[in-house]
Amino acid sequence: MAEANQEVTFNVDKDEVAGTLEQLMAVDATEIEENYGPEKLPEGTYHFRVKQAELDTREMAKDKKKHPGVMVDRAVFALAYEVINVHTLKDATLDPADYIGSEHYESFAIFDLERDVGRLKGLMKMAGYVPPSNMIKDMLMGFVGHEFVAVIKYRKDKSDPTNFYANIDVKACSPLATGQAAPQPQPAAPAQAAPAQTEAAPTAAAGKFAFGGAA
């Protein structure tokens, strides 16, 4: 367990603040509003800008069958995207303008180095991004700020049939053509919007190696 005097940093009104865990524990949360995490993007086609591309670590099960209960730190590619424009939505009752400026988060662990680095390279290629070098650090740093078109699709959670994930369909990604004007979102048909579905906000684990920043 971390010591009470361990130093930490966090943002307050967009300003970075340094303190200790003990000071953070003493914060009065009365005036802080509840936050239920980012809303899942509905299925559709989006114009994204990469806000973050990092190599992070997450604690995960080593092998549920061979080593039940054993946890290890695994490296993960952590990616964050900002919605610049919405081209189409599967649900015509939703207003595309409501999702402009929203953020979408995805991450995947490196279980097999060749396979999973290949997944990153595949995403970048389909998005029309050409990295300055094939060093992973350079690939991630240069990806921040890149814009492309992607399709969001839903897939069910195998462990929980009532839950689902909103993921970028890598094979449906495409480059944003040079000088292409993003189409203006069309007004939605008059209907009651579906209730928002939320997911837990991503949490950063200790040991993060930040190779990219906010665009």
User: Domains in the chain: how many in total?
Assistant: 1
Residue 166, domain extent: 41-175
Is position 26 within any domain?
no
Is position 67 within any domain?
yes
Using alpha carbons only, give the angle 80, 146, 109 rounded to the nearest 5 degrees.
40
Is position 201 within any domain?
no
Is position 18 within any domain?
no
Is position 170 within any domain?
yes
Query: Cβ(182)–Cβ(170) under 8 Å?
Result: no
Hey, is 144 helix, strand or coil? coil
Asked if pLDDT for residue 142 goes beyond 50, the answer is yes
Predicted structure pTM score: 0.67
Query: Cβ(109)–Cβ(60) under 8 Å?
Result: yes
Is position 89 within any domain?
yes
Q: Give the pLDDT confidence of 62-72 residue by residue, as tens digits.
A: 777 777 778 88
Q: Give the pLDDT confidence of 32-78 residue by residue, as tens digits.
A: 887 766 678 999 999 999 999 999 998 877 777 777 778 888 899 99
At 5, list the tokens: 């005097």
